[in-house]
A and B are shown apart, each in its own frame.
Chain A
Amino acid sequence: MKFIDEYRDGEKARPIIEEIHRLADRPVRLMEVCGTHTASIARYALRKALPETIELISGPGCPVCVTSNRDLDKAISLARIPGAAVATFGDMVRVPGSDSSLALERASGRDVRVVYSPLDGLKIAEEKPHLKVIFLGVGFETTAPTVAATALEARNRGLKNFFIFSAHKTVPKALKALLDLGEIKLDGFLLPGHVSTIIGSRPYEFLAEQHGLACVISGFEPLDILQSVLMLVRQAKSRRPRVEIQYKRGVKPEGNPKALEVMDQAFEPADVEWRGLGWIPGTGLTLREEFGDLDASRAFDIRVPLAKETNGCRCGDVLRGLIRPEGCGLFARVCTPENPLGPCMVSFEGSCAAAYKYGS
């Protein structure tokens, strides 16, 4: 497949790996903040290729993992509304909330449908006017514009039975909040490729300018990631931190202005709760007043009891990069992919799922 296979060429990986080994003569701590990077690194066993001097830490980059129990409980309570159908991305189906999950709700007879695109949710609403279709919006800036576009389309078509429950979040301010916690010492960031496709490179400049961190916006194929690590090591050594784009075929410095415009039309920033990071002002996306009639949190009375956190679950610490999955007492003993206690284990991109599935 074009623009995919070429970046998976094992032959070409070797010289990059050798060069990384040659240059990384002292410790370099890098954080990757994109669940798809976590998954790709694990799937291709890329940590094995890197020298011991390079530590690649997983951060809060999995939008499923950072969705709070409260939001999950709300989504579940929406599924329990008579006449409602929750349309969701597959990623969210098995994530456990306080007492249940969307998968368990479906097993108990509620209408929960997996869709590939928010437009598929719209289609269901059009075809079944008697159903209240509630689309569960999860994802960062890569996904938010697609949901925003869907909201605009729902408007255009005059649909009265389509709603959006937004748990969308944005990345750059969250990275600032993470650094402000002062818990971890980093040399650089492997930045999310597709979020950057939308927002460009400018929103990250404060990381280099104010925090002196090396930054590379990386693609997702193994060669992309290896090259990005090489670029990060070079930056860290040169002591000239800046924001570089490795994923040039997919990211322009200005991002995708049209997508940003559409996102801005439908959504506005809000203060939201991140699992593991707590409340971070301005990092959520909520539907604007003009789209209030599409907003599930306004259209439905969703009242949930205080969310219950799982005893001993350390997803929060994993997401902040404080511990590796193996550092959680529940990992692989009680918390496994078939019995996940926290989102880091059930999400395809969760650090714990990746660590468990792909092993060492």
Chain B
Amino acid sequence: MCVAIPARIKSIEGLTADVEVGGVSRKISVQLTPEVHKDDYVLVHAGFAIQVVDEQEARETLKLFEELGALETE
């Protein structure tokens, strides 16, 4: 029930951030994620950032996919 998508923070002013995804920008609220920084990726839902994307974990997840693939070809 939750269309939320990873977008990059281009700039922050107070509790409002300008984010972009695929070259499209929008202003959103970071009231729920006040600790964010420029260039962080956040999950955007209904005009708010609801979480910072953990880039390390993102890479780990992708690695898991690769590993499974590698296993298959052994």
Contacts and interface: CB of A to CB of B under 8 A. Distances in A.
B50 to A, nearest CB: 6
Interface in A148-184: 149, 152-153
Contacts of A223: 65
Interface stretch (A12-20, A92-100, A298-306, A323-331): A12-20
A173 B31 CA distance: 27
Contacts of B61: 7, 219, 224, 227, 246, 248-249
A282 B30 CA distance: 28
Nearest to A169: B1
Contact of A194 (B2, B22, B32): B2
B41 A227 contact: no
A29 to B, nearest CB: 22
A119 B47 contact: yes
Interface in B28-66: 28-29, 31-34, 41, 43, 45-48, 50-51, 53-55, 57-58, 60-62, 64-66
A116 B26 CA distance: 11
Interface string A106-144: 000000000011111000000000000000000110110
A4 B64 contact: no
Interface string B1-45: 111111010000000000001100000110111100000010101
Contacts of A145: 32, 48, 50
B interface residue count range (under 10 / 10 to 19 / 20 to 34 / 35 or more): 35 or more
B62 A193 contact: no
B48 A149 contact: yes
A35 B32 CA distance: 23
B35 to A, nearest CB: 8
A227 B68 CA distance: 10
B46 to A, nearest CB: 5
A337 interface: no
Contacts of A14: 69, 72
Nearest to B44: A117
Given A19-B68, A149-B31, A259-B32, A6 B62 contact: yes
Contacts of A143: 1-2, 45-46
B69 A12 contact: yes
B34 A194 contact: no
B10 to A, nearest CB: 14
B53 A3 contact: yes
Given A3-B6, A140-B1, A258-B34, A197 B48 contact: no
A142 B57 contact: no
Contacts of A259: 32-33, 50
B46 A16 contact: no
Given A3-B41, A15-B65, 11 more contacts: A15-B72, A36-B2, A63-B1, A143-B2, A146-B32, A149-B29, A194-B1, A197-B50, A246-B61, A249-B54, A256-B33
Interface of A: 1-4, 6-7, 9, 11-12, 14-16, 18-19, 34-36, 61-64, 89, 116-120, 139-140, 142-143, 145-146, 149, 152-153, 192-195, 197-198, 219-220, 223-224, 227, 246, 248-252, 256, 258-259, 262, 349
